[in-house]
Amino acid sequence: MDYKAAFRDALDKVRAEGRYRVFADLKRHRGEFPRATWTQADGSQSEVVVWCSNDYLGQGQNPVVLDAMHQAIEEAGAGSGGTRNISGTTRYHVELERELADLHGKDAALLFTSGYVSNEASLSTLYKILPGLIIFSDELNHNSMISGIRAGGREQRRVFRHNDLEHLESLLAAAPADAPKLIAFESVYSMDGDIADMKGTVALAKKYGAMTYLDEVHAVGMYGPRGAGVAERDGVMDQIDIIEGTLGKAFGVMGGYIAADPVIVDAIRSYADGFIFTTSLPPALAAGAVASIRWLKEHNEVRVAHQARAAALKARLAQAGLPVMPSVSHIVPVLVGDPVHCKMISDILLTDYGIYVQPINYPTVPRGTERLRFTPSPAHDDRMMDDLADALERLWAHCNIKRVGGYAA
Ligand code: PLP
């Protein structure tokens, strides 16, 4: 077999569909968030404003976080040196798990190397602990949740229409009454910026004797009085059985976790391959995360400013007649509806305007809903927003004249 030809064919297919991913080579400027230097393939460099970072609050540059990381390196060195079981559990990991449990009002938490791993490892492990478990999964759940849920096989999962509690209830009612059940959902859906009905979901879980598993990856640090997420904001945090989050987005560092009752955490700790068989996070990351979580617990004004900036951008873009998709969160998606166009607009923004926003194409979002997804932070000022709106207005007019690829926004 011509193995290389098979790889080339696979790439050609992705290219033909306009969804070949090109990564922007960026170097962020410490202390000047959201500014960065972009290096092109030929080595030339230019300054850009980043509009699509998931470091939603700029915590990756907060001096409090950086100081904690520097100090941990000074004290403990670089890597952790092992899996959690074999010398890789350090003071920093233990302290971080306590901090996370406290954040979510639970008695225990468990760290993973990323949010992806925490979802995949925890959800797939629940099937081992609860034989016959049926997981009810929102159709727009993140790939990491789907990957964990698929481990149980087709018979063990039911997919409900996005945020459709009637559909969820019909599936719950149709399942065997004595089967263990778990509802897996997200709070903020990061591609559309909509938010699940927390209270309604919890009520259904109670009615049908199901556990709840909530991914708060795009909400931790940003919602609720102490930044524990939407469940905290909506007053149902104590009624969610397992809360999952990341340290890599609003907390500005890296890593993932679950917070839950100690017996749940202990069982997942004991059975989850993705937790057991991997080197634990470097101490400096854990130390940075602790500092970031603590700081954000005390600084609600950052959350208020963040929401205000997101509202300002939505209003500014809507005023310019741009197709801002409905979003009740800090995410500002603008519909393009065509993969080639989406990439083209993103490329021109970067090269001609110094504005970096990654095109969001299939399979991240359904075909036909390709979009630009803006994530304004408290540091994106009015001037940056005006520059962005002006550039988009010009590009939209330009694209309409050309009418390439059926574009009609
Ligand atoms: N869950 C959701 C909803 C996500 O969007 C992501 C990543 O974008 C993850 C989990 C994975 O988190 P991490 O980036 O920490 O691996």
What pLDDT score does 178 carry?
97
The pLDDT tens digits for 115-160 are 999 999 999 999 999 999 999 999 999 999 999 999 999 999 999 9
**Alpha-carbon gap, residue 386 to 388, rounded angstroms:** 5
What pLDDT score does 400 carry?
59
What pLDDT score does 334 carry?
97
Kindly state if the Cβ of 114 falls inside 6 Å of ligand 1.
yes
In order of 50, 54, 177, 230, 259, the CA distances from 250 in angstroms are: 15, 7, 39, 14, 17
Torsion of CA 35, 19, 188, 69, to 10 degrees: -40
What pLDDT score does 17 carry?
77
Kindly state if the Cβ of 144 falls inside 6 Å of ligand 1.
yes
**Alpha-carbon gap, residue 225 to 230, rounded angstroms:** 10
Cβ partners under 8 Å of residue 159, min gap 6: 136, 137, 138, 139
Kindly state if the Cβ of 142 falls inside 6 Å of ligand 1.
yes
Q: How many residues does the chain have?
A: 409
Kindly state if the Cβ of 215 falls inside 6 Å of ligand 1.
yes
The pLDDT tens digits for 29-78 are 999 999 999 999 999 999 999 999 999 999 999 999 999 999 999 999 99
Kindly state if the Cβ of 217 falls inside 6 Å of ligand 1.
yes
* Sign, Cα dihedral of 279, 283, 288, 294: positive
174 CA → ligand 1 middle, Å = 31
Residue nearest to atom 13 of ligand 1 (CA): 115
Strands of 104-255, DSSP E: 108-112, 134-138, 157-160, 181-186, 210-215, 242-246
**Alpha-carbon gap, residue 91 to 57, rounded angstroms:** 27
What pLDDT score does 53 carry?
98
The pLDDT tens digits for 96-112 are 999 999 999 999 999 99
Angle at 241 between CA 237 and CA 245, to 5 degrees: 70
246 CA → ligand 1 middle, Å = 7
245 CA → ligand 1 middle, Å = 8
**Alpha-carbon gap, residue 408 to 337, rounded angstroms:** 8
| Residues 85, 187 contacting (CB under 8 angstroms) | no
pLDDT tens string, the chain, 409 residues long: the values are 999 999 999 999 988 877 788 899 999 999 999 999 999 999 999 999 999 999 999 999 999 999 999 999 999 999 999 999 999 999 999 999 999 999 999 999 999 999 999 999 999 999 999 999 999 999 999 999 999 999 999 999 999 999 999 999 999 999 999 999 999 999 999 999 999 999 999 999 999 999 999 999 999 999 999 999 999 999 999 999 999 999 999 999 999 999 999 999 999 999 999 999 999 999 999 999 999 999 999 999 999 999 999 999 999 999 999 999 999 999 999 999 998 899 899 999 999 999 999 999 888 898 899 999 999 999 999 999 999 999 999 999 887 534 333 333 3
Residue nearest to atom 14 of ligand 1 (CA): 115
Which positions are catalytic? 249
Kindly state if the Cβ of 274 falls inside 6 Å of ligand 1.
no
111 CA → ligand 1 middle, Å = 14
- Of 325, 289, 320, residue with least CA distance to 392: 320
Q: What is the DSSP string of 280-325?
A: PPPHHHHHHHHHHHHHHHH-HHHHHHHHHHHHHHHHHHHHTT--BP
Pocket test for ligand 1, best of 145, 162, 246, 285 (most atoms within 8 A of CB): 246
